[in-house]
Amino acid sequence: MSKIGILGSGTWGTALANMFALHEHEVTLYSSFKEETESLVKTYRHPHLDCQLTDKIEFTNDVDKACINKDIIIFASPSPYIRASVTKAKPYINKKQILVCVAKGIEPDTHYFMSEIMEDVLGKGYKIAALSGPTHAEEVAICQPTCIVSASKNKEARRIVQKEFSNDILRVYTNKDIRGVELCGALKNIVALAAGLSEGLGYGDNAKAAIITRGLAEITRLGKKMHCKTKTFYGLAGIGDIVVTATSTHSRNHNAGVLLGKGYSLEDTLKEIGMVVEGVNALIAAKQLQMKYKVELPIIDAAYNIIQGKLEVGDVLPVLFGRRPQSETRYKKQK
């Protein structure tokens, strides 16, 4: 069993901590908030997870305790805070450790994925992997059956993550296309936001299925331009993660879309959700990538324009349905 440090005590970091600790790993969970750690130690409950946490988890406010002498370090902060989290941990990390990022997003302007931010901060030679797939924290925390993907350019990193993380309820697959896996993880949140918008507007399953399917087509089209592997988009990190995020009431991105579709302002929506909505954060970078690679992303574009206040929610249907007819299997050649 491994010594695992987890940096970030949100729902996903805490869920992983609980599941790994229950499967005999030695787990230390770091939070930058003293009050949060005190509450976790006192109650062994997370405010957004409906379960009792195991007392096998060690909670700490000291980042060095979550890094030093650990075999694997998991970065579980929301994507906007990954750069700061890695910078804070850098003095306590070494190249023998396996570094795993479970955040999903793209940094605006640099267009770096989370693993690329880690490499940018740490430098070359570190064993970095991304863990992604259809994984609700609420289910992982209570050890519900789950499949996930360990992606890395480093064969040793992805194989060690697969070996150490696999157990009787978590099946881990490997994929060397880390860029494709991370692209799926970031943009599926936008598709989930769009699916929620559709539901909030009162549309049914037909519309949601169309958004999921055509949203995947958009992500795949952009991914091909970015030299990702097509098979990645039809695996767990692609269609698997889109389905679970776009259809479930566990999904904060889906739920945020529902509220926006019902007429809530963005400010009120984010306040109601009470946690980071990654789909909103990913929109600026997605729009920048669309312009850089000159690809058609109508669903993602519509979501961007709604969030930016350039398109009324009620006008989205005629915008999408008013586009010129074309074949499902063949788009015009991208320049």
- Give the span between the Cα atoms of 36 and 45, in whole angstroms: 10
Query: What residues contact 200, with CB distance under 8 A and at least 6 apart?
Result: 257, 258, 259, 260, 261, 262, 313
Which residue in the list 70, 104, 127, 188 is annotated as catalytic? Answer: 188
Q: Nearest CA to 105 among 141, 125, 77, 134?
A: 77
Q: Torsion angle, CA of 57/63/66/72, rounded to 10 degrees?
A: 130
How large is the C-alpha radius of gyration of the chain? 20
- Cα 108 to Cα 106: distance, rounded to the nearest angstrom: 6
Residues 6+ apart with CB under 8 A from 247: 195, 208, 212, 254
Q: Please report where in the chains the tokens 């350019």 appear, as a residue.
A: 153
- Determine contact, residues 71/156, Cβ cutoff 8 Å: no
Say how many Å lie between the first and final Cα of the chain, rounded: 51
Query: Angle, nearest 10°, between helix axes 298-307 and 205-225?
Result: 100
CA atoms in the 13 A half-sphere facing the CB of 218? 26
69: left (phi over 0), alpha (psi -120 to 50) or beta: left
* Nearest CA among 46, 38, 2 for reference residue 20: 2
Q: Is 188 labeled as catalytic in the residue annotation? A: yes
Tell me the catalytic residues: 188
